[in-house]
Amino acid sequence: MNYQDLVNEAFAASQNAYTPYSHFAVGACVLLKNGKTVHGCNIENAAYGSTMCAERNAIFASYCQGYRKDDIIALAIVANCSPLVSPCGACRQVLSELLDPHTPIILGCKEYYEVTNMEELLPRMFIGESL
Ligand code: THU
């Protein structure tokens, strides 16, 4: 699966977003080394702080299925917006622990995508080895 396919898959995931408050649907898709994909989308709540972002749902779902960072090839995060959607601070902290710092993260919209990683998105990250 190439990055464009992964972006398309993440847009498919965004179809299940539950966004009655923001009306901003986000999709995410983890690509695993075994060729499988794991979807995530944002699920909002009337208590806004209880909302869960698409990328955290996708990475948590992957871990819930028993996969770990070494099993992951890439993560796509998509939304129909400009500039490209970019993970919030909480997601950056979570992803910095659950993804290898060099695992490609594809940020996409309908027209194009860019490839980054956690090292770029969260420099000098706080990780378990710091404890
Ligand atoms: N959101 C995500 O799911 N991922 C991001 O990377 C950015 C923000 C969601 C949270 C909320 O449901 C909506 O987008 C507006 O912030």
The DSSP line for 39-105 is EEE-B--SSGGG-B-HHHHHHHHHHHTT--GGGEEEEEEE-S-SS-----HHHHHHHHHHS-TTS-E
Q: What is the pTM of this model?
A: 0.97
pLDDT of residue 128: 82
pLDDT at 108 over 90: yes
Q: Which protein residues touch ligand 1 with a CB less than 6 Å away?
A: 19, 22, 24, 26, 42, 44, 51, 53-55, 77, 85, 87-88, 91
pLDDT in tens, 42-98: 999 999 999 999 999 999 999 999 999 999 999 999 999 999 999 999 999 999 999
pLDDT of residue 127: 84
- End-to-end, the C-alpha distance of the chain in Å comes to 37
pLDDT in tens, 24-41: 999 999 999 999 999 999
3-state class (DSSP) for residue 19 = coil
Which tokens in the block code for residue 80?
Answer: 């129909």
3-state class (DSSP) for residue 4 = helix
- From the candidates 44, 55, 119, 120, which is the catalytic residue? 55
129 assigned to active site? no
